[in-house]
Chains A and B, each alone.
Chain A
Amino acid sequence: MTEVVSITVPAMPAWNGVVELVLAGLGARLDLPYDRIDELQLATTAVLTDAHGPDVRVDASASPDSVDIRVGPLASGARDPGRRRVLDALADAVELEPGDDGTTWAVLTFARGGAR
């Protein structure tokens, strides 16, 4: 079974904590090590900075092997290489995919095997 939790918040740093709380709740239910939850939160909030538009949506889905976090819409254009490096270290895979209206979404994949 795939479980999906979605949250839409105003694209402002003040709301990052709400997203983090939701991710912590999800991570706890999936029995992820706390390190992993922490890094999932760090990576997601790093992507939230790129949000484009008044709101940003975070879809978190869990399969037996991984947790996928899809975040968007993001501003299109060159990604900051420094942040990409951070994301690559935190997540097992980072993909950018096109959304509707030419927007960009980031998909972060975290293996459920434990902290890297």
Chain B
Amino acid sequence: MGSNDQRALLVAYLNDGDVRARDRLVEELMPLVRSLANRYAGRGEPTEDLVQVGAIGLVKAIDRFDLEKGVELSTYAVPTIVGEIRRHFRDRTWAVHVPRRLKELSMRLARSRDDLSAELGRSPTVAELAAAVGVDEEEAIDALEASKAYAPRSLDQPYDEDEPGRVPGLSDEERGYAALERGSVVRQGLDALDERERRIVVLRFLRGMSQSEIAEEVGISQMHVSRLLRKSLEAMRGRLEEPEVPV
């Protein structure tokens, strides 16, 4: 299918609501989804699951596509597809191998951290956390640090050291769009984040709320707030450090 055909289908779907046109586009671009999913294969999640979540990313990209943008759908869709795949890892997996005992301990510590914060009216110290779950401080630190591995750092690392915006394995065309999006379409680091992450970053850094206050406000655990802050800063860093691309 040529790019003119794709454009005609996009017009049919986006302007006229022809859902069959979208189905056709999804079908056409599934090889791209498969190739992106394959790059994340062998990291503990079935490739077919990665293809499924990648397909969700593709559908989102089609829905959000702006006909005025003057880019190919395939290049536009890549960051969204990769984003969905990475989100899946973030939600489902520990990025590095963490022994079961540490996982269990870190979950107990996460609960204690929330309980003690409520009880004490402040964040507990490591000593208080360790005492609450009956381990020594070093063990508590091990588990607390291990829990950060739940946010998939290994997936945040495929960025090339010398070229922070670069996802290895992407074609020049795919990278070209990624740079275009970062440089000219998306200027703010916040745009790298999803709605909940953006809210947490705003509450923490613009409104100055503490992690425990945010946890209460958003209705998630402090550990989760901490993870999302880390992940958000990582994502924002990728955006903010990208050199300006002339529009």
Interface residues, chain A, CB within 8 Å of chain B?
12-14, 17, 20-21, 24-25, 27-28, 31-39, 42, 46, 49, 80, 82-83, 85-86, 89, 114-116
Contacts and interface: CB of A to CB of B under 8 A. Distances in A.
A39 B229 CA distance: 10
B157 A28 contact: no
Contact of A116 (B129, B141, B208, B229): B208
Interface in B209-235: 210-212, 222, 226, 229-230, 233
Nearest to B229: A42
A60 to B, nearest CB: 15
Given A28-B137, A89-B208, A34 B144 contact: yes
Contact of A31 (B122, B127, B148, B157): B127
Q: Please report whether the interface of chain B is mostly helix, strand, loop or mixed according to DSSP.
A: helix
A88 B137 CA distance: 29
Q: Please report whether the interface of chain A is mostly helix, strand, loop or mixed according to DSSP.
A: helix
A12 B113 CA distance: 31
12 contacts: A13-B157, A17-B148, A17-B153, A20-B148, A24-B145, A28-B126, A28-B137, A34-B123, A46-B237, A49-B237, A83-B237, A89-B204
Nearest to A24: B141
Contacts of A86: 205, 233, 236
A114 B126 contact: no
Nearest to B226: A38
Nearest to A39: B211
Nearest to A88: B205
B205 A85 contact: yes
Given A86-B205, A115-B123, A80 B144 contact: no
A25 B145 CA distance: 10
Contacts of B230: 42
A5 B124 CA distance: 23
Contact of B126 (A34, A39, A80): A34
A36 B123 contact: yes
B183 interface: no
Contact of B125 (A14, A34, A46, A89): A34
B161 interface: yes
B236 A114 contact: no
B126 A27 contact: yes
B124 A33 contact: yes
Contacts of A49: 237, 241
Contacts of A38: 211, 226
B94 to A, nearest CB: 14
Contact of A28 (B141, B210, B241): B141
Nearest to B96: A17
